[in-house]
Amino acid sequence: MCRQLRQIDFLLFLVLNISFVTLAKKSLRKLINDLIHCVISVVSYMLLALLCVTITFRIYKSVGQAVQKSTEGRPFRELIEKDVTILPKMFRKHVDTRS
């Protein structure tokens, strides 16, 4: 009888030990998954904040240029605003020589 109780105690100890190890492995996996999820969330929120700051800065600079009417950021503005009209006399001269 005593021997059977020892065997039952030993079997119970093995079952509990195996279930504890399995539970510990599952808990470790869940802990690692949760940690990875937290790191990804933190990084994504930081990148989202950086994107918002970048967009805000771009809008600020655009509004500043519009208010000051500066040429900063428009390197070809002088060329676009240059008057390039052709006088009718010059136009006729070039057309007549080509015909």
Give the pLDDT means over successive 10-residue stretches in the chain (99 positions).
Answer: 63 69 74 88 94 92 76 69 85 77
Q: What pLDDT, on a 0 to 100 scale, did the predictor assign at position 51? A: 96
Q: What pLDDT, on a 0 to 100 scale, did the predictor assign at position 5? A: 56
How far is 35 from 42, CA to CA, in rounded Å? 11
Handedness of CA 47, 53, 54, 55 (dihedral sign): positive
Rounded to two decimals, what is the model's pTM?
0.45
Q: What pLDDT, on a 0 to 100 scale, did the predictor assign at position 25? A: 72
Contact status, residue 2 vs residue 10, Cβ threshold 8 Å: no
Q: What pLDDT, on a 0 to 100 scale, did the predictor assign at position 82? A: 84
Handedness of CA 75, 81, 83, 84 (dihedral sign): positive
Q: What pLDDT, on a 0 to 100 scale, did the predictor assign at position 99? A: 56
Q: What pLDDT, on a 0 to 100 scale, did the predictor assign at position 97? A: 73
Q: What pLDDT, on a 0 to 100 scale, did the predictor assign at position 32? A: 86
